[in-house]
Amino acid sequence: MPLTASPGPALLYYSKERFELVQRIFVMAEYPVTAATSPKRHRDRMRYDVDVVHAILDAGFMAHVSFTVGGRPQLIPLAFGRDGERLYLHTSSGGQLALAARASGTEGVPVAISVTHIDSVVLSRSAMHHSVDYRCVIAHGPLVHVTDPDEQLHAYRVIIDHLVPGRADDVRGPNPKENAQTTVLRLDLDEVAAKVRDHGLAEDPDDLDLPYYAGVVPLTTTRGPIRPDRADQDLPPYLATWLGAS
């Protein structure tokens, strides 16, 4: 059977305190600066604008989640989706992150989550000035195990539609075995900021006459030709739109 229609936006699952915080973020149009989001260096690269953070998150396909288990650092990549001021992720129920999140109850397991895009490789005349232009969002906070069945289904839709808009209406829903094998997770975007480097070369004046090659190599992520599972399948309109097909 199809994936059950979403019961509504993430606001349905906000506490009163969380709703009030989201309202303040919406009014200010930027995230508050906290100890976790205040850098020691390159403060000029920091962005706290809500629109900038959302754009970087929405353009990403993979989030890297860092956490600790038994004092040892761990890092795993996960697909994700954003719904308002909240990220949803899911992972294997037998994995360390899922076990830690379930053991933490409603308090959640402390994590840092990053989503990064590399926009260009910067080739400097100096070995030490080689770099990349990038856009990155880092969010801190408790990653909470989602136990409400309706919110779990909502999270599945958010994650699937984040990968390909409209896709959630063209798949079957999870069966009981899949639900048992999967842990749904939630992170509220309370402590979050973007960091952006977009100025290309930054050469020392004394290096400009050196004979070494310098330049910037742009990088892009593109969608290639689709490889259908069956030749007799017509391309759904939502997928044709996403692929840029006419």
Domain residue ranges in the chain: 10-243
List Cα–Cα distances, 234 to 161, 171, 225, 230, in angstroms: 20, 15, 14, 9
Q: What is the pLDDT of residue 38?
A: 86
Q: According to the CATH classification, is domain 10-243 in 2.30.110.10?
A: yes
**HSE-up of 202 (CA within 13 Å, CB side)?**
10
Q: Which amino acid is at 168?
A: A
d(CA 171, CA 72) in angstroms, rounded, equals: 38
pLDDT of res. 243: 92
Output the pLDDT for position 238.
95
| pLDDT value of residue 109 | 97
pLDDT digits (tens, 9 = 90+) for 31-47: 989 999 888 887 788 99
Q: Which residues of the chain have pLDDT under 70?
A: 1-2, 4-27, 245-246
pLDDT at 237: 95
The tokens describing 154, both together, are: 């909502």
What φ, ψ does residue 88 adopt, rounded to 5°?
-115, 140
pLDDT at 153: 95
Do residues 110 and 119 touch, judged by C-beta distance below 8 A?
no
